[in-house]
Amino acid sequence: MTQKTFANLLKAVIVLALFCCAIVYILYVPAIAREAADNFAELAALYVPALVFVELTALPILLALVLAWQIAHAVGQDNSFCRANASRMKAISLLALGDVVYFWIGIAVFGFGWGAASGPEFILAVLIGSAGIILSVCAGALSHLILKAALLREENDLTV
pTM confidence score: 0.88
pLDDT in tens, 85-116: 999 999 999 999 999 999 888 888 876 655 55
End-to-end Cα spacing for the chain: 27
Residue type, 42: E
Query: Is the model's pLDDT at 143 over the cut of 80?
Result: yes
**DSSP state letter for 135:** H
